[in-house]
Structure 1
Amino acid sequence: MVKWTLGRRITALCAVVGLLLTLIAMATASTAVASRERARTLMEQVGPLRTDSGHLLTVLVDQQTAVRGYALIGSDNVLTPYHDGVAEEKRLITEMRGLTRDPAVLARLSELEARAAAWRTDIAERAISATRAGRAGDAQAILSTAGGSRFDEVRASATALRDRTSVLRDAATEQTRGALRLLVALLVLAVIVVVVAGLAVTLLLRRLVISPVVNLAGEVRRVARGEYERKIEVEGPPEVVRLAEDINAMRQQILADLGTVRQAHLQLEEANRLLEQQAEELSRSNRDLEQFAYVASHDLQEPLRKVASFCQLLQRRYAGQLDERADQYIAFAVDGAQRMQRLINDLLAFSRIGRMTSGFTEVDLDRVVADAAAQLSWRAEQVDGAITWSDLPTVRGEEPLLSALFTNLISNSFKFRHPDRAPEVRVSAERVGDEWHISVADNGIGVEPAYADKIFVIFQRLHPKNEYPGTGIGLAIAKKIIEYHGGRIWLDTEAREGTVIRIVLPAVVPADPLQPEHAPTDLPAVLPAAPDQPALIPAAADGARTEETGS
């Protein structure tokens, strides 16, 4: 047997209550109409009929009194009530016939009319005629002998008529009262139906909704406390049962997801353990790299400086004393030692980015570019070059790294200048949202779009070293500096002339980036120069061309 749903039960209850209230309303309306009609009949017909019957008896008595007075006095003025009474009698009888359809009243009214007419003809008119003829004694005799009994018959008919109208009045009054009592009873019944329906709905909701929902809430709380394996079972209407089934399905899904989460947690713990191991290995590797940097800066460069120094001494002291091939071999050795020293210096500079750090500060790029232009002023004078900039922003970063960035980029613009025009370098910036878009543009030889990605690869060169000197690491250093500052750098391949390097830096940096452990404190910040040779500063490759050059 399929249980009725809660909605169906409430609908059925509301339908029954609505039907009962409709029937009560119809009965109430019908009773109210009948009561109003009875009240109207009582006020407009039965009441006036009862009043007219009493007035009619008074009028008849006035006629008898007037005739008796005329028989005694003989004055015509005494007959005025008699004549007025006759007219009033006729009016009242006509009016009463129009007020009722009751056969008994109409019969008594006709009887009264006939007896009153007979009394006037047989008694009253004869007594009046005898009095006018001067026979007052005869008139008295007529009125006293047969007249008294005949008028008693008229009086009895009038009294019977009045009594009948009283019965009609009482019956109409009782019917009106009954209708009012019925109306009140119907209203009380409607109230009782509403109250009973409210109680029924309350009990229905308590039994079919509140109690099952409370039980369901208790089961849900037990599951929420951790009893995920507990199956939720609740009795009640189909809606609550379906809700319990849905919660069971949700519990099972949560249980399955919880198992997945637990498995993922175990996997995450294992991954964290592996990451910790890898972090330890990476820390050891960093320490090894730092040791290598120390060795490269001291142990490797020391013999390299000696080789370069003594090769240079051989070149200066014995130049021209050996044959031409020996001089060439010595020049090759000097050049190779110097190039090796530049490569080591550039590689160390590349590795120090992000490790040898002093923390981020507010850096005014206008001042940084001005310092870079001042450092390269001698180079600009040699090539008749020009450096322009304006309205550069203040960003958060490490000033030495940003200074090396712009120095390398401007130096590359001078190095890869066009042979037919003086080099011009333009540095500009624009705010776009939360970023600064900075451009370093020149009018040099440019870079083919096909090499846009290769120019930022370490030791990547696009030109022979005898044509454009350098190690090919400059733009790789520039890229690492920009990425260390949370930005991006790329070659604008749509530039119509020269090279345009695009740089994006955050306009707001919330905090300094996490830094790896510092390199050993005994490592020199700047590598010493070889004997008889100035210290080498790695210059960045031109944004459009690529390779790193020594200045």
Structure 2
Amino acid sequence: MAAGRNWTLRQRTIGLTLVVAVILGALAVVAAITAAESREGLRTLLDRTGPMRVAGQTLQSALLDQETAVRGFVLTGDDEDLEPYRKGQQNEERLIGEISGLLGDSAEDQAVRQQLEAVKAGSGQWRATIAEPVITAVRAGDRGRAQEIIDQGSRQRFDVLRADVTKLQDDILTVRNVFAAQTQTNSNLLIFLLVLAAAVIVLAGAALLILLERFVIKPVTDLAAEVRLVAAGDYRHEISGSGSPELAALAADVDGMRRKIADDLAEVIAARAAIEATNRRLEEQHEELTRSNRDLEQFAYVASHDLQEPLRKVASFCQLLQRRYGGKLDERADQYIYFAVDGAQRMQRLINDLLAFSRIGRITSGFTDVDLNKVMEEVSGQLDAAREYADGEIVYGDLPTIRGEEALLTNLLANLVNNALKFRKPDVPPRVEIKSRQAGDQWEISCEDNGIGIEAEFADKVFVIFQRLHAKDAYPGTGIGLAIAKKIVEYHGGRIWIDSDYSGGTAIRFTLPVIASEAAELPSDQGTPQLQEETA
């Protein structure tokens, strides 16, 4: 008994479940056996006893047809009157065979089989002693002899045969009643088993509720009350547990945590001073990092600017070589010159993009109110040739007005839309949609397309400068567009990310602050109400 009181809640639940499962399993086995027997009894009623009763009644009609045909033949002497006799005999043989084929091995079936043999023997004896002699006498022209045979014993013998057929039908009815009673008994047993199973489930549910109330709900409620006392500041209050061993162990763990908190509380005050000192050092490091970033941007600008002139000369002379000597040298020389021109032009694009990247936030014209709808009109005009070449469409809606630098915001949206047109699916016209919604004090701007998409594992990598997910031969560009977009968004006080839940292509979303005067007027989560469309 003591061991039973130390059972865990899991052990008690498993024990109750096993007991219920065993009982229900046993009931299910008995129900399955009973259902099988009931199904077999019903099949016997439908497929055996029913057809046997019909065959027995038809057999009696076949015998009557034979007896009537013989009497008629005595009166007329016409062979056509014997046709019912012959057909009745054929039907008799067929029906006796059908009944015999439907019989089983039970005692009741054996009784039917014996009676069927008696009918068969009686029928044969009647034909041998009455019917056939009468037919022979009539055909010999001796109707008096035929009538005499009939008068001497035909009716008595046929009444005996009819009684045998009636007894056969009674025996068949007995078989039917036996299986009907068995089927009824099995049906009643199935109902009883279902009621018993329902009672077991109800009792198991009641036992489970009692188990939960005693070992879970009340102990948890008591433990929560004690925890609230500690949470209110009484760290000296000891927490005791009750209920199942799991909850007692949980209460001990919570009390251990209480003691640990009480011990650590004294250390928190000392740690606070250390944290404040650490924060001061972090602020100093932040300022140093800001200065370092500023110096790096200046270095990148100067280095890129100083590289422009010599690179321009290299590109110009390579292009001059290509124009003047293209096709005059061998094929490999033309290929080398092409590589040199392509590399110089690519380096120029990289330097120009690097200069643009370094200028963001450093060379500024000041923030103004910028209508993003007008910005998108300009972007659509800039990319009109690319859109027409791809047979695509650019869709944008009622976009907000925000505080920012118009040139940078134009560059931002142009980069996003250009990427959407560039990274399109083969043989699928690109569709780019720019829309917005307000989320608190931020506008969330989305650029969604139906292109090739970006895997979730590369969602952060694409914003790193000069990072590319594809070979430069597959898609042109320097790999700095999204890095520039990220820097522009962060310069305006927002953030940018790839929506990995979007499955139609690529969805790039970024936030921009709401103008202070509009933040209190516009409702939150205001979506794009209308769409304008630019199509080829």
Please identify which structure carries the higher helix content. 2
Q: Which has the larger radius of gyration?
A: 1
- Give the structure, 1 or 2, with the largest relative contact order (CA under 8 Å, sep 6 or more): 1
The TM-score normalised by the length of structure 2 is 0.47
The TM-score normalised by the length of structure 1 is 0.45
